[in-house]
Structure 1
Amino acid sequence: MTSSTVTGPGLGGGTLADQAYRSISDRLVTLRIHPGEPINDEWIAAELGFGRTPVREALKRLEHERLIVSYPRRGTFATEVQIADLGHISEVRKQLEPLAASMAAQRAGERDRQDLEGLLAELADASDRGADLIRLDMTVHRALYAATRNPYLEDTLIRYDNLATRIWCLFLDRLPGLAGHVHEHGPLLRAVIDGDAEKAADLASGHVAGFEAAIRSVI
């Protein structure tokens, strides 16, 4: 099995390395792979149904994104969630999330807007289960980033959103306002769909500030 193959076990398009990356990243971000837990490429490959080569490629990317760390002669581990990094992560997101929202409002194509309309409907019907809300939150963010039509900005924001989401998941049982936080995306999605760049940027800015305030209220 090679990473150039574009089909895989139910994990979406892209190379096998891309699919392995998405699957392992999801486990790391939502803390199903616990902080500090050892990462064994052979076990993960067997669990996901991939060969070890695409899994190793995925792990290299995840290490670059600070979701895993490798130590000589000790092995590879999921990184610890560093609450001290919250301020640094928020500094970046406060600048880039409004930019992305504004760009998405200006650049989103017809297919993008259809996808965002679909997410609006999902938000309206969303359950209050923490895991479901976290995944919906991540899906909304990624759809907005993709609509910027800037792959460099998209990749950067996915990386920082992953780090922020890990912090969120760490305090999930102490954050009763999760549903309200996720449903804030409704007006943001509507602003992007309507092409209102200024409103989209303002809403994105408030969303990031609210996230940081919510975390700081429980630490």
Structure 2
Amino acid sequence: MRYTATGVTDPTESGGGELSLAEHAYRALRDRLVMLEIRPGAPVNEDQLAQSLGVGRTPVREALKRLQHERLIATYPRRGTFATDVNITDLAHISEVRQELEPLAADRAARRATDPARAGLTAVLADLAGVESARHDAAGLMRLDLRVHRAVYAATGNPYLEDTLIRYDNLATRIWCLFVDRLPGMAGHVAEHGPLLEAIVAGDPERASRLARGHVEGFERAVRDVI
């Protein structure tokens, strides 16, 4: 993410170009919550967040309203605002939604992706090359995983589908982060996206859809194996 004179440019999601301060605050805080940099159950202080992001309280307040709607924070009267807990019992519900929508997104991306979108997917694919043999920390792998998914969602050309899947992928990633020390083969899980991206770039919706469904099912199995 880079700053400009009037906002922030974020190439990882659609609606690119210069972002408002509120959008910048939202995306930055969202990813801190998703990556558990703000721990589940931790208090969320508007003043501290505004200072750390270099923005005023108003953009932070707007961001927190959106994050509450997305189940990443919760506000309680006379108690304050807190990062939501990660509840493993939600895994089945989250996976149920993703098993239907991830294949749909892959299919639509393969059919509809514009030339710039395919170029972006190809760039992400290049970053995936050799991920299993290279040395990556867990946080780096998970950020790459998020980048892959968000690039696919953006390539669908459907902002409603994109927004919905980002929300559910965020919740799934929080579960992954919670068990990261016990999940083996993280690099392999991330590298699995390579064939998926290749299918989308090649315009093969059937293969892309099949691979996307298998990826979601594999994620759920991996988590259940360690709980």
Asked if Structure 1 and Structure 2 have the same fold, meaning a TM-score greater than 0.5 normalized by the shorter chain, the answer is: yes
- Deviation at residue 194 of structure 1 after TM alignment: 0.2
User: How far apart in 2 are the matches of 1:125 and 1:133?
Assistant: 12
- Which position in structure 1 is the counterpart of 2:7? 7
User: How far apart in 2 are the matches of 1:150 and 1:48?
Assistant: 30
Superposition pairs of residues 36-185 of structure 1, within 5 angstroms: 36-126=41-131, 127-185=135-193
- Alpha-carbon displacement from aligned partner over 1:104-150 (angstroms, at most 9, x marks no partner): 00000000110011011101144431111100000010000000000
Residue type matched to 2:192 in 1? E
CA contact (8 A) 1:11 1:23 kept: no
Superposition pairs of residues 16-35 of structure 1, within 5 angstroms: 16-35=21-40
2:28 is paired with a residue whose SS is helix
2:19 is paired with a residue whose SS is coil
User: How far apart in 1 are the matches of 2:130 and 2:122?
Assistant: 13
With normalisation by structure 2, the TM-score equals 0.92
- Deviation at residue 7 of structure 1 after TM alignment: 1.2
User: How far apart in 2 are the matches of 1:99 and 1:83?
Assistant: 25
- Alpha-carbon displacement from aligned partner over 1:60-83 (angstroms, at most 9, x marks no partner): 000000000000010000000010
Correspondence 1:193 to 2:215: no
- Deviation at residue 6 of structure 1 after TM alignment: 4.2
Correspondence 1:202 to 2:207: no
Identical columns (%): 64
2:184 is paired with a residue whose SS is coil
Correspondence 1:211 to 2:222: no
- Equivalent pairs counted in the alignment come to 214
1:33 is paired with a residue whose SS is coil
Residue type matched to 1:89 in 2? I
> Where does structure 1 lack aligned partners over 5 or more consecutive residues?
none
Residue type matched to 2:137 in 1? R
Residue type matched to 1:210 in 2? G
2:71 is paired with a residue whose SS is coil
RMSD of the alignment, in Å?
Answer: 1.3
